[in-house]
Structure 1
Amino acid sequence: MSSDAPVGARPPAGPTFFGHPRALSTLFLTEMWERFSFYGMRAILVLYLTAAVTDGGLGIDGSTANAVYGAYNAMVYLMALPGGWVADRLIGARRSVLWGGVVIAVGHYVMAVPTGWSVFAGMTLIVLGTGLLKPNISTMVGDLYERDSPRRDAGFSLFYMGINLGAFIAPLVTGFLGEKVNWHLGFGAAAVGMTFGVVQYVLGRRNLGEAGARPADPLLGADRRRALTRAGAVTVALLVVLLVLLLAGWFTVNTVVNLLTTVTVVVTVGYFARILTDREISGTERRRMKAYVWLFVFATAFWLIYDQAGSVLNIFAAERTDRNVAGFTFPASWLQSVNPILIIIGAPLAAWLWLRLGHRVSTPTKFAVGLVLNGLSFVLMAAAARAAVDGNLVSPWWLVAVYAIQVAGELSLSPVGLSATTKLAPVKYASQMLGLWFLATAVGDAIGGQVARLAQNWSQSTYFLTFGLASVLLGVAAVMFTRQIRGLMAGIH
């Protein structure tokens, strides 16, 4: 089969959604509610972990809480790999999205139980559910377009707006309930949001036609039994490792976080090695995967900085910003809504821009712009940290400006990266490649969680300036290698 063949089955013709296939509306709304639950919980997670026990929190120190946050985000995206495999080989993308949504909802309901253990148990379920849902719903969006269609980037940008609509609303709801009323009530609101998402997906399934209905490369007979046996063996092995850690007295938060970080990096290296050495993919597909390695490294560096908004920057908002407006101190987590509302405004403009520019601006160049802007946001954050010394509270407009710069970078990289992944993917690894794209976020978050520990030991201005300048320099390097990367992409723009 040609590597340029369309991915998956087309949905039926009929009414459109802002000029795009009607099926996009179902996927748009499902992802919106899933992101409501995800970002709603994430907006208050670190604040809950660091809050004093007397205030209903867990009383964990900031360094450990930042690392937990990074490891949790990493696991959410790491599980996209097995989630993509389950869709490709066993049950198809459509059922993977459904069951993933159900498990996510259950996880949030568990977190709503007012006990300390419930948070970590719920997070585990959310990790498993998101692994099934996240890569496969994006694969289904890719199924709606020809592989190299200029409308593809525009469609992903519109889909991305749905993600950020949920992300905008969520902190306003869960942040108020969590910080002002009860932390677990905030987690419960996230559960209700995911429930809405599951219901909407079931009701809108008629729009999807055959998209995602069947596995792309199904396992049958003995191969299927062998794969399920191996999966069971891996699960048992993981449980044994956890039991050994528990019995040896090593089962601490920091031990688990460090272990998860190591696993994330090792799995990433191993997965790339597997694809690049697979004899069943063509020479052209292998060249494109080598180009993808570059894009992956750039994306990892981007998310390492960007996703600290929910940890380091969230704590900065809680402790070092003046949030009093007319006598009301608004929740620190409300500032987590700034980023998505700016994306909601900017996503249609980005969709129009990429459609207008067509193939004149290459994917590597867009990635380079994202890295430079991301770095500049941390340089500005260094100035904010310098102003917030000796107990001074700074205006929250500093954070608003930082998020605005980051949003411009994200719109240059993230939706474009999703689209590039579906275009560069070898046919054999269609859904799994979306998992690999999310693995860039996993590695960035895992390493970022460890890096964020430095924010508790270095001066904050030094911390932000160091990593900001590093991102800018990497962006400049990306520009220098653009021609070589485009050559490896073999005709894909």
Structure 2
Amino acid sequence: MTEMWERFSYYGMRAILVLFLSASVLEGGLGLNGGTAKALVGVYMASVYLVALPGGWISDRILGTRRCVLLGGVIIMLGHISLAVPAGAGFAFAGLALIVVGTGLLKPNVTAIVGHLYKGDEDARRDAGFSLFYMGVNIGALLGPAIAGTLGQKVGWHVGFGAAAVGMAFGLAQYAFGRRPPGDDAPPHRLTPEERRRFTRYAVRGVAVVVVVVALAAVTGAFTLDGVTWALTVITILVAAGYFAFMFYGSHGITPEERVRLKAYAWLFVAAAIFQMIYDQAATELTAFAHDKTDLSFGGWNMPSSWLQSANPIMVLLLAPVLAGLWIRLGDRVSTAVKFAIGLALAGASFLLMAAAATAASDGTRVSALWLLGTYVIQTVGELSLYPVGLSVTVKLAPAAFAGQMMGLWFLATAVGDAVGGQVTRLSGTVLSQPLYFMCLGLLAIAAAMVLAMFTRPLRRLMSERPEPVMAASG
């Protein structure tokens, strides 16, 4: 329920964010050009998941999971309140920054709580459990665009953002007064006094470096929205690469066996990032396509374009029990790598369908909403093949001393995909025609799925998954 309301606020706001940023000042928006607005939404979504990594560390070493979830929810609500204030770009950007910080504290830790409900050898049940948890998440993702999105498009942008704030307030009330999450909330590896002093020194130095860099950028004229989005994209990729290097080569108690499993996890990380690069363009390229090139009229009434973003959670609610039952029935016969390859291939197929839709709309004709609905259905099946399974395998492969941080590392894959995807959208309609843009990304995802499928057996060995049974030859 807590995550449901947090997702209500996030997806409700996200459904109208790119439209608000690109709308003219006379229409109540910020008047950014389309490429900058989409890139900004991409790096915003990336930042939301990027800070899940320090959020997991804070849980492991300072606050514990329950306090992190509560504090994160409060900060998220304050961010939506800031967005709801019609006072210009300053309040809007401050609101986005607060949501980023709050989500980093809440999201990895509420997810880690779910993973710890299952014993280490209950892989199939954990996969199914995360699928059911994912259903709850998608109730919020369904209601957010339908309520906050409608209010934003039909009444006013800031009214929609205010509805997102109210949703997060409900989540906080439920979490604070509901049943306490199971387990001890004490940080498993609390900082020693010396570690705390060292952390404080590094934090102060880090803040000082950021202040100096921002000041230099402002003086040289490089401190622009486009410059910030490119910088955040590079930072996201470097953080991912740096953290994997730290996990593989650092001296921090990770056993040789755990490092072997991390090699397999690196493959899954790249696959998840490519999937998210396509999947999360629902908030950028597909939102713009729905608003500008899709026929949304029904008997003289125009449906808000944000409603189309509810198609994905509706399909998740319908299909999650089916996929959860399928994974239990198949057990270990279908490997994690195969499930990831299926998800990637379906993501690619969805963009090939969008290439056909964009071709049909290239003469200025608004196309049927069924094109987008079909795209979201294909993506949903791919999502349910990859994402809940990814959450589950992250818990399974996590080194013992880095449980919270490992969940943050999983969300970092989403951050990389969103950051790169936000910049890639600049190619659409400029360097590449929109049909060619969708086709190139679709073929990239399908090629990645084929490569992952080719290496299924080595990945099973690295992850210590049970191999497929060998059938005796007849004759």
Task: Give the shorter-chain TM-score range.
Answer: over 0.9
2:17 corresponds to 1:45? yes
Report the counterpart of residue 336 of structure 2 in structure 1. 363
2:226 is aligned to 254
Deviation at 1:415, TM superposition (A): 0.4
Residue of structure 2 equivalent to 1:266: 238
Aligned length: 463
Separation (CA, whole Å) in 2 of partners of 1:69 and 1:57:
14
**Which of residues 63, 71, 76 in structure 2 aligns to 1:91?**
63
- Cα RMSD of the aligned pairs, angstroms, is 1.1
- Structure 1 consecutive aligned stretches of length 4 or more whose deviation exceeds 3 Å: none
Percent identity, please: 55
1:141 corresponds to 2:99: no
The answer on 1:423 being equivalent to 2:386 is no
The one-letter code sitting in structure 2 at the alignment partner of 1:106 is: L
1:239 to 211, 218, 231: 211
Question: Aligned residue for 1:443?
Answer: 416
Q: How does 1:212-223 map to 2 (within 5 A)?
A: 213-223=185-195
Q: Distance in 2 between matches of 1:483 and 1:403?
A: 31
CA apart distance, 1:360: 1.1
Paired residue for 1:409? 382
Supply the distance in 1 between the matched residues of 2:444 and 2:179 (Cα, whole angstroms): 45
Pairing 1:318–2:291 present:
yes
Which one of the candidate residues 39, 42, 45 is aligned to 1:70?
A: 42
What residue in structure 2 maps to residue 302 of structure 1?
A: 275
Q: What residue number does 1:372 align with?
A: 345
In the TM superposition, residue 491 of structure 1 has moved relative to its aligned partner by: 3.9
Q: Using the alignment, how far apart are the partners of 1:343 and 1:300 within structure 2?
A: 20
TM-score by length of 1: 0.92
Query: 8 Å contact 1:142–1:419 — kept in the other structure?
Result: yes
Kindly indicate whether residue 449 of structure 2 is the aligned counterpart of residue 475 of structure 1.
Answer: yes
Give CA-to-partner distance per residue, 1:400-453, whole Å, 9 cap, x none: 000000000000000000000010010111100000000000000011011111
Structure 2 residue 116 is matched with structure 1 residue 155 = no
Q: Is the 8 A contact 2:332 2:465 kept in 1?
A: no
* 1:196-207 to 2 correspondences below 5 Å: 196-206=170-180
Opposite residue 67 of structure 2, the aligned amino acid is R
1:69 alignment partner AA: V
Letter in 2 for 1:243: A
Whichever residue aligns with residue 476 of structure 1, its letter is M
2:30 is the counterpart of 1:58:
yes
Give the deviation of 1:492 after TM superposition: 7.2
| One-letter amino acid of the structure 2 residue matched with residue 273 of structure 1 | A
- Maintained 8 Å contact 1:62/1:456: no
User: Can you give the 5+ residue segments of structure 2 that lack an aligned partner in the other structure?
Assistant: 468-475
How far, CA to CA, are the matches of 1:452 and 1:265 in structure 2?
17
C-alpha deviation, 1:245, in angstroms: 1.8
SS of residue in 2 equivalent to 1:390:
coil
- Stretch deviating more after TM superposition (265-274 or 148-157): 148-157
Letter in 1 for 2:367: V
CA contact (8 A) 1:74 1:445 kept: yes
CA contact (8 A) 1:83 1:133 kept: yes
Structure 1, unpaired ranges of 5+: 1-28
Q: Which deviations, in whole Å up to 9, do the C-alpha atoms of 1:283-309 show, x marking residues without a partner?
A: 110000000000001001100011001
Partner of 2:52: 80
Whole-Å Cα distance in 2 between the matches of residues 423 and 102 of structure 1? 30
Q: Partners of 1:446 and 1:89 in 2: how far apart?
A: 28
**TM-score normalised by L of structure 2:** 0.96
- Mapping for residues 447-466 of structure 1, pairs under 5 Å: 447-457=420-430, 458-466=432-440
Distance in 2 between residues matched to 1:320 and 1:169, nearest whole Å? 24
